[in-house]
Amino acid sequence: MFYSLLLNVKAENDGIIEYYPGRKIHGWFFSVLRSADERISNVMHSNISDKSFTVSSFLGKNVSRPLEVKQGEVYSIRITLLEDSLFELFSNKVFESTLKDQNARFGNVTFKVLNLSVGQSNKWSGFTTEEELFNKDNTQAVVKLKFYTPTLFRIGDLHLREPDPEKVYTSLIRKFNKYSKVKLDENLVGKFKDIKILEKDTILKRVNFGEFYLQGFVGTVTFEVPYEDKLVEAVNVLSNFAFYSGVGYKSTMGLGQCKREEL
């Protein structure tokens, strides 16, 4: 199964987080996993590409400037997990026995961990199976994705900062086939270049990582798929999967947060 969890935390003091919070939250997530199961943590850390999780920055907060945190305010962190074993580890062993009512420190701000939401009552939490993704109506030749956080693609030492259908869906199929029990045909990758951008409403946003900046696009992109049954099915499945996997470079730190939108 694929999971999207919401971890709610409350600020214990005022403060300013100067640089992109997603980087610090990512480091905290690894330290928490390491304390629970060092072997799994090491395996995940050494797996350089297509990791089985993403950790967001604080949801709904501007990632392009320092974040002013107010004491008493509740902030939400989104964690997505693509493996059942990781979900079991984090939701049971880690959260219930270690995190609940404990503190986490990001920058100069201490946060109290409040609760973990797994259900589908919030638009950012939920879960699904591969079978459910394949059983949806996967016949739409036009699909629309909204990119909520800066999205970019790394090609060697270069960063592609504009929407590119081939890069979007290649990123998705690699991760999907790595963690799904039901695989998509890898030969479809060669056909992703035929997908067209029908419409886009995007802008570029910059993220300050401290030692460097990254720039990527946010906004909506509508894709048109050549009508070939297997290709259309794959694009529909992957467009729904994007909610759990993220898209592109540094998705494990909350970049490339994406969700399919109704047309």
SS3 at position 102: coil
- DSSP letter assigned to residue 184: P
User: Average of pLDDT values for 78-95?
Assistant: 86
Residue 138: is its pLDDT beyond 80? yes
Last residue of one domain, picked from the residues 110, 126, 142: 126
Cβ–Cβ under 8 Å, residues 151 and 218: yes
- In three-state form (DSSP H/G/I as H, E/B as E, the rest C), the secondary structure along 41-83 is HHHHHHCCCCCCEEEEEECCCCCCCCEEECCCCEEEEEEEECC
* Same domain as 164, residue 105: no
Return mean pLDDT, the chain.
92
**pLDDT given for residue 20 in this prediction:** 95
SS3 at position 250: coil
* Same domain as 230, residue 206: yes
Cβ–Cβ under 8 Å, residues 6 and 114: no
* Same domain as 114, residue 11: yes
* Same domain as 174, residue 79: no
CATH at 163: 3.30.70.1900
CATH at 118: 3.30.70.1890
Cβ–Cβ under 8 Å, residues 63 and 88: no
* Same domain as 188, residue 121: no
* Same domain as 103, residue 55: yes
**pLDDT given for residue 179 in this prediction:** 96
pLDDT for 143-167, tens place per residue? 999 999 999 999 888 899 999 999 9
User: Average of pLDDT values for 65-84?
Assistant: 95
* Same domain as 95, residue 149: no
| Contacts for 262 with CB less than 8 Å, ≥ 6 apart | 144
Write down the pTM of the prediction: 0.94
Q: How far is CA 177 from CA 43, 51, 135, 180, 244, in A?
A: 19, 12, 17, 5, 14
* Same domain as 118, residue 104: yes
If one compares 42 and 73, the residue with the highest pLDDT of the two is 73
Domain that holds residue 220: 129-261
* Same domain as 157, residue 178: yes
* Same domain as 135, residue 256: yes
Last residue of one domain, picked from the residues 79, 101, 126: 126
Neighbours of 124 (CB within 10 A): 18
pLDDT for 1-57, tens place per residue? 999 999 999 999 999 999 999 999 998 988 888 777 777 766 666 656 788 999 999
Nearest to 12 by CA among 98, 96, 105, 95: 105
| Contacts for 186 with CB less than 8 Å, ≥ 6 apart | 173, 177
Residue 135: is its pLDDT beyond 80? yes
* Same domain as 137, residue 109: no
What is the number of structural domains in the chain? 2
User: What six digits make up the tokens of 60?
Assistant: 């709904």
* Same domain as 161, residue 108: no
HSE toward the beta carbon, residue 91, CA cutoff 13 A: 17
Q: How far is CA 190 from CA 167, 170, 185, in A?
A: 11, 9, 11
Last residue of one domain, picked from the residues 126, 161, 191: 126
**pLDDT given for residue 243 in this prediction:** 98
Neighbours of 200 (CB within 10 A): 16
